[in-house]
Amino acid sequence: MIKSDMLKPKHQRLVLLGVAVVALLGAALLAVWALRHQASYFYVPSDIVSHPPESDRAVRLGGMVVKGSMHNAPDGVTVRFLVSDGKAQVPVRFAGIRPALFVEGSGVVAEGHLVAGTFVADNLLAKHDEKYVPREMKDMGAARKAVAQTQ
């Protein structure tokens, strides 16, 4: 009785499809795991320091702009700054128009080449973080703290 109940086509389909979905998810997870380096949009400074790319290879470097490291050159367009991931730092040079959200202490993605230890960027992208803070709160200087408390 139980056996014939188990073999009902409806239950058979349920079990088969359940197995198929689990197998599919497993395959997708494995693929994603294999892609974990290739699918990244940029290298972090410690990647660049441990495996420096050849100077003719275009790469992206992402990290935080170190506070106090930004220096504007006298020509008015060139800027130098340090990008850090907390473990390593890479000096960056860029000449051109900077995105509005590009500030010290904030995230940045630079596209360019590594030339003799300095990353020469052709393009800068500002990376916004997940924090949303009203302008008025920031002026009070308590914004980051208030957000941190809600976490």
Interface residues toward other proteins, by CB under 8 A: 10, 13-14, 17, 20-21, 24-25, 28, 32, 35-36, 39-44, 62, 98-103, 106, 109, 123-138, 143, 146-147, 150-151
CB hemisphere CA count around 114 (13 angstroms): 18
- We find the least distance from the C-beta atom of residue 19 to other proteins, in angstroms, to be 12
CA distance 38 to 34: 8
CA distance 58 to 123: 11
- We find the least distance from the C-beta atom of residue 72 to other proteins, in angstroms, to be 18
CB nearer other proteins, residue 91 or residue 99? 99
How far lies 138's CA from each of 64, 101, 132, 141, 146, in Å? 19, 15, 10, 5, 10
CB nearer other proteins, residue 47 or residue 82? 47
CB nearer other proteins, residue 6 or residue 20? 20
